[in-house]
């Protein structure tokens, strides 16, 4: 048994989709979350910048002595996962592989849509992962650069968000997909509007949820699950805590005001 923490990080609020699932399936685990809200979004930045930011974020979490780290960010998982794994011997779980497997298992007509940041779509990470599982699956990928700013500013189900969703999902609808990967962990916070527009016949694959399930399976396999009945959660952000606390509290369905702290991330590299 292990009483160490689970580290989770993302560019901002999106990784809370993974935290919510971890709390549900592993209620006894202590969780330390870092959201790099001062530098969000990552998805429009260069590959080198994403790698640099991701390594700085991981160093911050490693100082908290975690037993495993969940990279709850599709962009980082697509661009920098191998770099992060080279920094530590503890498990570092990304979102791409578990999400790709779930999508392949879910599709009925062999047509999958991918919604992601510009960097994720450009990296072809989901296409590569799905192609390795089933090369016969037809894929339609769409970059959605407006989604992360909408989520970070609290526009989770709003007329402006609906307009953006309709614009971005049009190619997926034309392709006749029956399964859509929400390839950025911010995107599951837009599930109400996405589900309403796509319809009940389309299955939405939550990348945060699938990554959390993969992490839980890895800890169980290594006999590293906590023996505690109820874990503690700490949240760190690199910008002001107010907006984060408000939206995170609504999403997690609990008041986290006293559990959020603003910190500085070392950038001297």
- Smallest CA-to-CA distance from 177 within 97, 108, 129 is with 108
- Give the HSE-up count for residue 116: Cα atoms under 13 Å, Cβ half-sphere: 31
- 3-state SS of 212-226? HHHHHHHHHHCCCCC
Question: What is the rounded CA–CA span in Å between residue 183 and residue 77?
Answer: 10
Q: Is 17 helix (H, G, I), strand (E, B) or coil?
A: helix
Give catalytic residues, as residue numbers.
Answer: 73, 184
CA distances (Å), origin 232, targets 3, 31, 155, 228: 11, 6, 29, 10
Q: What secondary structure letter does DSSP report for 178? A: S
CA distances (Å), origin 185, targets 8, 88, 165, 190: 12, 23, 16, 10
Question: What is the rounded CA–CA span in Å between residue 31 and residue 8?
Answer: 7
Task: Indicate the burial class of 58 (C-beta count within 10 angstroms; 0-12, 13-18, 19 or more).
Answer: buried
Question: What is the rounded CA–CA span in Å between residue 174 and residue 204?
Answer: 17
């Amino acid at each position: 048994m292990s009483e160490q923490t689970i580290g989770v990080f993302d560019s901002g609020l999106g990784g809370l989709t993974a935290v919510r699932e971890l709390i549900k399936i592993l209620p006894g685990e202590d969780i330390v979350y870092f959201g790099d809200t001062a530098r969000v979004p990552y998805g429009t930045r260069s590959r080198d910048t994403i790698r640099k930011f991701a390594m700085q974020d991981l160093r911050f979490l490693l100082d908290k002595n975690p037993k495993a780290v969940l990279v709850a960010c599709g962009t980082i998982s697509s661009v920098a996962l191998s770099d992060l794994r080279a920094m530590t011997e503890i498990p570092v779980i990304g979102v791409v592989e578990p999400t790709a497997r779930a999508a392949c298992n879910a599709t009925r007509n062999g047509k999958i849509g991918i919604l992601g940041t510009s960097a994720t779509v450009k990296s072809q990470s989901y296409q590569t992962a799905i192609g390795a599982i089933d090369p016969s699956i037809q894929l339609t990928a769409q970059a959605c650069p407006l989604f992360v700013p909408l989520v970070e500013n609290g526009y989770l189900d709003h007329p402006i968000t609906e307009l953006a969703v309709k614009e971005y999902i049009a190619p997926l609808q034309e392709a006749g997909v029956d399964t859509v990967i929400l390839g950025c962990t911010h995107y599951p916070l837009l599930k109400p509007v996405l589900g309403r527009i796509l319809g009940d016949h389309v299955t939405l694959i939550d990348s945060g949820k699938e990554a959390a399930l993969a992490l839980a399976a890895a800890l169980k396999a290594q006999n590293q699950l906590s023996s505690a009945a109820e874990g503690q959660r700490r949240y760190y952000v690199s910008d002001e805590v107010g907006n984060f606390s408000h939206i995170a509290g609504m999403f997690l369905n609990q008041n986290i005001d006293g559990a959020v702290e603003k910190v500085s991330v070392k950038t001297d590299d």
